Amino acid sequence: MNTKLRKNLEGSLYILPFGIFWLIFSAFPTLYGFFISLFEWNPLKGSKFVGLNNYIYFFTHDRFWNSLYRTLEFAVIFIFLTIFIALFFALILYFYSKDKLRAFSESVLFFPYLLNVSVIALIWKWLFDPDFGLLTYFMSIFLGKAPRLLNSTLWAIPVIAIASAWWLSGYRTTIFLTALESVPKDLVEAARIDGANTWEIIWKVLLPLIKPQFLFSLVLTTISGFTALGQVMIMTDGGPGYASEVLALYLYRLGFQYFDMGKAAAAGSILVIIMLILTLSGIKVIGLGGEIE
Amino acid sequence: MKNILYKVVLLFISIIWIIPILWMIDTAFKPTPQIFTIPPKWIASSYTLEHFYNLIKNWPIDRWFINSFIIASLSTIISIFLSVPAAYSFARLNWVGRDIIFIIFLITMLAPWQVNIIPLYFIMNSLKLLNTHISVVLPTVAMSISVFLLRQFYVNIPKEIEESAKIDGCSNLQILLKIIVPISLPAIAALAIYIFIFAWNEYTWSLVALQKTKMFTIPIGLKAIQGAYDIDYGLLMMAAFLATLPVIIIFLLLRKKIMEGMSWSGAIR
């Protein structure tokens, strides 16, 4: 009995150092954020408890719904592009023999991941500059006139998503490639002998076997999709108008431009709830739970 | 024949992928009149360092580098010291409540802490930590993904390795320090790279926590430069290039290690 107590004590002692940091700077802020969201914040007159009024305000406010829609739009395009490009690159590299060109391509595709968000945003803002951008010029050759994509309410979000996909898909490529290479070679050979073509090998042998890594990447990509802020701020600053004002940017502005901390915290809590519902239901539906345990 | 087709495709993709970076470097060294031309020109008739001098004259970029470096290194070191014992406990020790606590950790891993900028702002303010390096380090080292990644590695270490040590009467702490840590060095290195890159890139919270120009990190500094110059792309690309230069050098030196490390962090089972 005494040893059992000691065992429990020892086990929890090992997680205590991390646990303290986690409690103060991860778990507590999430709960505290929800608490702040119940107040109308006023540093001069003192804050007033308003219950769920901040949330009710959002539900009747177009700017909130717009930011929610823009967040979804960005996330969907960004997640799709990133995962699709990464899988495509990984498969090309996988079927290509190991030589210098492949090592070079692997590095080149991975490299953008090491740049920080401000750098990639500045580069792509310049590439898509409405007057002198390199890509704007190329597109104007085909279209006849220069498309001003970053100034367009329709294209601002997709362009930011493209820039973000260029930035992050290399890391996913590396993860997928490592996963593909850990698939036993004789499985692929056996399928080939049975007469399967490359397409069938990809769908029936390779992809099912890299499912854990695929889901892990999907979760990470979903998180970055819903919390993207830096690239939006630098490339369009939410514009034109509010056409690219994602929820994270709206949250930031509520808090540090309008100093309405209660509403900003409410926006944060909504984002937390969305993330939890999405990732948890995603995990349940496609079954990452089994892989984690 | 098929191989040549592959080669062409691969080469084509690689070139497309690297063009934005080359264009950034090209722009950074062009004199301003040659930047704004239609059609854009890859090879300018002359190159210049004017943007570089302009930049270092007006902005403490070197200071931002040091700040970014301090924050990323501190985050990495502290994170490893915290997560190694925690991951070991989750993977190997049996105690009441272990699994439920692990699941709670997992759930907070799914809700990124950047959505907590408002409560964190209040917390750091009352701790008098705003505008310090440590204010960015603290939430970074509290990320449960570091414990999660290490635990996935520890779970897959065969138990037999520890059995003989246990028979010899080694305590858990001795087993952790003498057996587990040495064999998990590659995993620890991979985690270190992951955390370092994460902290080096952190934007959202740094923007809130670091408001004094002297305390900026590279990403926040670049945002400030962009706010001040807007479309002076020569200067902006020089700033982006300088922010990237150390990364390029480190990558050329440690390419294999970094890529192995990064791929490992996705290799959960």
A64-101 tens-digit pLDDT: 999 999 999 999 999 999 999 999 999 988 888 777 88
CA distance B106 to A290: 13
Nearest chain B alpha carbon to A261 = B118
How distant, in Å, are the alpha carbons of A9, A133, A164, B16 from that of B197?
35, 29, 16, 24
Whether A254 has a pLDDT exceeding 80, the answer reads: yes
Segments of chain B with pLDDT less than 50: 267-269
Q: Specify whether the CB–CB gap between A199 and A86 falls below 8 A.
A: no
Give the nearest partner residue to A14 out of B13, B93, B208, using CB atoms. B93
- Find chain A residues with C-beta within 8 A of B223's C-beta: 118, 230, 233-234
CB contact under 8 A, B138 and A27: no
pLDDT on residue A286: 57
pLDDT on residue B265: 59
Q: How many angstroms away from the CA of A81 is the closest CA of chain B?
A: 14
pLDDT on residue A49: 85
Tell whether A114 lies on the interface with B, counting CB pairs under 8 A.
yes
Structural domains for chain B: 50-265 (1.10.3720.10)
Q: Specify whether the CB–CB gap between B199 and B114 falls below 8 A.
A: no
Per-residue pLDDT band at A283 (split at 50, 70, 90): low
Q: Tell me what the mean pLDDT of segment A188-194 comes to.
A: 85
Q: Write out pLDDT tens, residues A237-248.
A: 887 889 999 999
Mean pLDDT of chain A: 87
Q: Specify whether the CB–CB gap between B149 and B191 falls below 8 A.
A: yes
Whether A116 has a pLDDT exceeding 80, the answer reads: yes
Percent over 70 (pLDDT), chain A: 95
Interface subset of B 190-249, CB within 8 angstroms of A:
197, 200-201, 203-204, 207-208, 218-220, 222-223, 226, 231, 233, 236-237, 239-240, 243-244, 247
Q: What is the C-alpha end-to-end distance of chain B, expressed in Å?
A: 38
- Find chain A residues with C-beta within 8 A of B268's C-beta: 212-213, 216, 291-292
Give the nearest partner residue to B111 out of A108, A251, A276, using CB atoms. A276
**pTM score of the predicted model:** 0.89
| Placement of tokens 């997928």 in the chain | A176
Q: Tell me what the mean pLDDT of segment A176-198 comes to.
A: 85
- Find chain B residues with C-beta within 8 A of A93's C-beta: 10
Q: Specify whether the CB–CB gap between A70 and A244 falls below 8 A.
A: yes
Q: Specify whether the CB–CB gap between A181 and A213 falls below 8 A.
A: no
Residue B259: name the closest of A260, A194, A176 by CA: A176
Q: How many angstroms away from the CA of B161 is the closest CA of chain A?
A: 20
CATH topology of domain A62-292: MetI-like fold (1.10.3720)
Q: Write out pLDDT tens, residues B90-126.
A: 988 888 888 888 888 888 887 777 888 999 999 999 9
Interface residue of B104, B115, B136, B211 to substitute, partner A, most A CBs within 10 Å: B115
CB contact under 8 A, A107 and B237: no
Whether A44 has a pLDDT exceeding 80, the answer reads: no
